[in-house]
Amino acid sequence: MTTSRQAASKTPVIAPRFDNLCAFVERLKARSVLASEEQRAVLALPVQIVDVPAKQDFVPLGDETSHCCFIASGLVARVGQVKNGSRQITAFHIPGDMADLHSAVRPVGIGGLTALCDTRILRVSHLAVRLVAQRYPAVAEAFWRDCILDAAILMQWAVNVGRKDGRSRIAHILCEMAIRYGRGTMDDALHEFAFPVVQEQLADAAALTSVHVNRCLRSLRESNIATVRNGIVTIFDWDALVKAGEFDPSYLIADTAPDRQRRLIAE
Amino acid sequence: MTTSRQAASKTPVIAPRFDNLCAFVERLKARSVLASEEQRAVLALPVQIVDVPAKQDFVPLGDETSHCCFIASGLVARVGQVKNGSRQITAFHIPGDMADLHSAVRPVGIGGLTALCDTRILRVSHLAVRLVAQRYPAVAEAFWRDCILDAAILMQWAVNVGRKDGRSRIAHILCEMAIRYGRGTMDDALHEFAFPVVQEQLADAAALTSVHVNRCLRSLRESNIATVRNGIVTIFDWDALVKAGEFDPSYLIADTAPDRQRRLIAE
DNA sequence: CGAGCAATTGAGTCGCATCAAGCTAGGTGG
DNA sequence: CCACCTAGCTTGATGCGACTCAATTGCTCG
């Protein structure tokens, strides 16, 4: 949301990577007001680096955990499952996300976490998270708000899966990820970003089969709207994509209007 | 048709009703540990009673609000919408729920709220909610946890809508509501509870059409599993309903401090 | 007693699942 | 250097679950 557009250097898509919690603090600051002491407290949270290979479930469904997972690089999906074996992806988490911040106050898993490509995780213990929240009310509120944003995305996800046809669902997912990856400027330029998923995973997100995802992608390609190839999303016509996905970005927008982030307690 | 079931002879299903926040405190206590001073602080939140007639949207989609809505009596749905006019219900809120506690930290609506029957709301200002959260970290954590439970339900909802057939979706919704209404004991007795929805609204929740909901309900009835009539759910075979809905109640179970776990509904 | 919802049922259609191949590209070993 | 393997992508044929349109039956209530 803060990135200005880099000049047209046409560098191939570069995946972001963070090895400390700076990016997490930036994320919180984009949504909440934190004093510098509070920011330092969050930054000081002890982390443990864990590298997860592609296609590995690193938080099993329904398990109880003792740590939150910050995504330093890579891509993670939150998945639910039904008995016949099919999976439903309920969220994608990109670098900069604390994928399961919610587990700090409710450790029993809300869903499993799977790495969709090689992924670096920074683990932060629930205890540490709750302690800093206890000590700094503004941090607690920032954490709370972060979880609410996640829930807002999830609600849109349910609407997307429940009430749109396949093509619209795919378009909506591409729109959402474009915005979240920070390529969501509304100009007519060509947008390109790395989104390392295969069609099978898009299918699990959109509640379709991979065969049908393929046909939906073909339809979007033949309309000259967008393509997904080798984990690279290329958007030719942003407006058409928004229209196809019935996408309204307001649900992604953190609430940062000045009068709303007013602190209730002086810094 | 063979409906010689006891018509109006039994004790009528009684809808719960609360005119203060006692029930909210009880709800929080079932999920979090609160000292008596903290409980009193929540109880002391000023409320404003609002009566909403059936089928009225009292929080429009996308609007910004200044109050949270506690459900004193009745039934409320959180709805999303797509352009062609069809609606997707993403949550039911029953008496005792703070339907949009999340709006305290993110006032722009996550979804509209509609009363499905005559409903009494207790409005609590965001400011008051945030102040008590700032003052009492344990209360903040309780609020946060409450929102997480809501998100956990939403995640299951997405899985339900995305990856099950119509009959299973309906069965799952009935299971969820049975547990949340507190009728979720596992004995073989007949379960009956008021759930004042029409088939159209079940359809919006399950992402089906009302015609198809009707057929799914008929199937459940003909299997002697459950019926829904005049807003009364009657469950004949709980185990079969759980099986049909692939229902696992663990996602509804609140988890409190590490040393203490409690069920959402005490047994 | 008719008006108006909600529930019900039927017939026709379509989106998507399913099954089944083939295709492509990168990797690996003989 | 080619033969093979595998993962992912693409395409076709067929069937079913759910939608749509449409008509009928209760049910409640003024």
Query: Do B192 and B153 fall within a single domain?
Result: no
Query: Do A145 and A55 fall within a single domain?
Result: yes
| Most confident residue range from A8-22, A57-71, A198-212 | A198-212
Say if B17 falls within a structural domain.
no
- Identify whether the C-beta of residue A33 lies closer than 8 Å to the C-beta of residue A40: no
Whether A163 has its CB under 8 Å from any CB of chain B: the answer is yes
Query: Do A141 and A170 fall within a single domain?
Result: no
pLDDT at site B262: 33
Q: How far is the CA of A198 from the C1' of D7 (A)?
A: 10
Query: Do B86 and B132 fall within a single domain?
Result: yes
A264–B130 C-beta distance less than 8 A? yes
Express as a percent the part of chain A with pLDDT over 90. Answer: 78
Number of domains, chain A: 2
Whether B264 has its CB under 8 Å from any CB of chain A: the answer is no
Residue range of the domain that includes A180: 165-253
| Disruptive mutation site among A34, A38, A146, A148 for chain B (greatest number of B CBs within 10 Å) | A148
Query: Do A148 and A35 fall within a single domain?
Result: yes
pLDDT band with cut points at 50, 70 and 90 for residue B244: very high
Q: How far is the CA of B164 from the C1' of D6 (A)?
A: 31
Query: Do B238 and B144 fall within a single domain?
Result: no
Query: Do A68 and A134 fall within a single domain?
Result: yes
Residues listed for chain B: 267
Q: How far is the CA of A229 from the C1' of D5 (A)?
A: 23
Distance of residue B31 Cα from the nearest chain A Cα, in angstroms: 10
Say if B108 falls within a structural domain.
yes
Chain B hits for A253, Cβ within 8 Å: 108
Comparing CB atoms, the residue among B86, B87, B151 nearest residue A102 is B151
Q: How far apart are CA A146 and CA A129, in angstroms?
A: 13
Comparing CB atoms, the residue among B62, B137, B246 nearest residue A82 is B246
What is the nearest nucleotide to A168, using C1' and CA?
A: C15
Distance of residue B134 Cα from the nearest chain A Cα, in angstroms: 5
- Identify whether the C-beta of residue A236 lies closer than 8 Å to the C-beta of residue A226: yes
Q: How far apart are CA B62 and CA A37, in angstroms?
A: 34
Query: Do A128 and A229 fall within a single domain?
Result: no
Q: What is the pLDDT of residues B17-40, one digit of tens each?
A: 677 899 999 999 999 999 999 999
Query: Do A153 and A196 fall within a single domain?
Result: no
B147–A260 C-beta distance less than 8 A? no
* Mean of per-residue pLDDT scores for chain B: 87
- Identify whether the C-beta of residue A77 lies closer than 8 Å to the C-beta of residue A143: no
Q: How far is the CA of B224 from the C1' of C5 (A)?
A: 27
Q: How far is the CA of B229 from the C1' of D28 (A)?
A: 14
Mean pLDDT of A155-173: 97
* Bridge partner residues of A234 (DSSP): A192, A227
Distance of residue A13 Cα from the nearest chain B Cα, in angstroms: 31
Say if A49 falls within a structural domain.
yes
Residues listed for chain A: 267
In which region does residue A146 sit, left (phi positive, over 0), alpha (psi from -120 to 50) or beta (all else)?
A: alpha
Is pLDDT at B171 greater than 90 in this prediction? yes
Query: Do B30 and B67 fall within a single domain?
Result: yes
Mean pLDDT of B258-264: 35
Mean pLDDT of A213-219: 98
pLDDT at site B257: 41
Three-state DSSP string of chain A: CCCCCCCCCCCCCCCCCCCCCHHHHHHHHCCCCCCHHHHHHHHCCCEEEEEECCCCEEECCCCECCEEEEEEECCEEEEEECCCCCEEEEEEECCCCECCHHHHCCCECCCEEEECCCEEEEEEEHHHHHHHHHHCHHHHHHHHHHHHHHHHHHHHHHHHHHHCCHHHHHHHHHHHHHHHCCCCCCCCCCEEEECCCCHHHHHHHHCCCHHHHHHHHHHHHHCCCEEEECCEEEECCHHHHHHHHCCCHHHHCCCCCCCCCCCCCCC
Whether B246 has its CB under 8 Å from any CB of chain A: the answer is yes
Q: Residue A44 is which amino acid?
A: A
Nucleotides on strand D with an atom closer than 7 A to protein CB?
7-13, 17-22, 28
Query: Do B114 and B179 fall within a single domain?
Result: no
Say if B14 falls within a structural domain.
no
Q: Which residue, of B158, B193, B215, is where some domain finishes?
A: B158
Q: How far apart are CA A145 and CA A154, in angstroms?
A: 14
pLDDT band with cut points at 50, 70 and 90 for residue A110: confident
Single out the residue of B221, B252, B219 nearest to residue B237, CA to CA: B221
What is the reported pTM?
Answer: 0.90
Name the residue with the least CA to C1' distance from nucleotide C10: B211
Q: How far is the CA of B214 from the C1' of D24 (A)?
A: 15
A187 vs A11, higher pLDDT:
A187
B250–A102 C-beta distance less than 8 A? no
Say if B31 falls within a structural domain.
yes
Say if B130 falls within a structural domain.
yes
pLDDT at site A186: 54
- Which two three-digit tokens encode residue A44? 């000081």
pLDDT at site B190: 66
Q: Which residue, of A143, A158, A173, is where some domain finishes?
A: A158
DSSP structure string for chain B: ----S--S-SPPP-----SSTHHHHHHHHTTS---HHHHHHHHTS--EEEEE-TT-EEE-TT-B-SEEEEEEES-EEEEEE-TTS-EEEEEEE-TT-BTTGGGGT--B-SSEEEESSSEEEEEEEHHHHHHHHHH-HHHHHHHHHHHHHHHHHHHHHHHHHHHS-HHHHHHHHHHHHHHHTT----SSS-EEEE----HHHHHHHHTS-HHHHHHHHHHHHHTTSEEEETTEEEES-HHHHHHHHT--GGGG--B-STT-B--SS--
Q: Which of residues 109-148 of A touch B (CB under 8 A)?
A: 110-111, 130, 133-135, 137, 140-141, 143-145, 147-148
- Identify whether the C-beta of residue B214 lies closer than 8 Å to the C-beta of residue B225: no
pLDDT at site A84: 87
Residue in chain A nearest B100 by alpha carbon: A148
What is the nearest nucleotide to A215, using C1' and CA?
A: D10
- B51 contact partners, CB below 8 Å, separation of at least 6: B118, B119, B120, B121
Provide the CATH number for the domain around residue A210. Answer: 1.10.10.10
A83–B148 C-beta distance less than 8 A? no
- Identify whether the C-beta of residue B194 lies closer than 8 Å to the C-beta of residue B232: yes
pLDDT at site B260: 41
Chain B hits for A155, Cβ within 8 Å: 78, 80, 90, 110-111, 154
Say if A245 falls within a structural domain.
yes
Provide the CATH number for the domain around residue B30. Answer: 2.60.120.10
Query: Do B226 and B203 fall within a single domain?
Result: yes
Say if B230 falls within a structural domain.
yes
Q: Which residue, of B130, B158, B186, is where some domain finishes?
A: B158
pLDDT at site A53: 94
What is the nearest nucleotide to B216, using C1' and CA?
A: D18
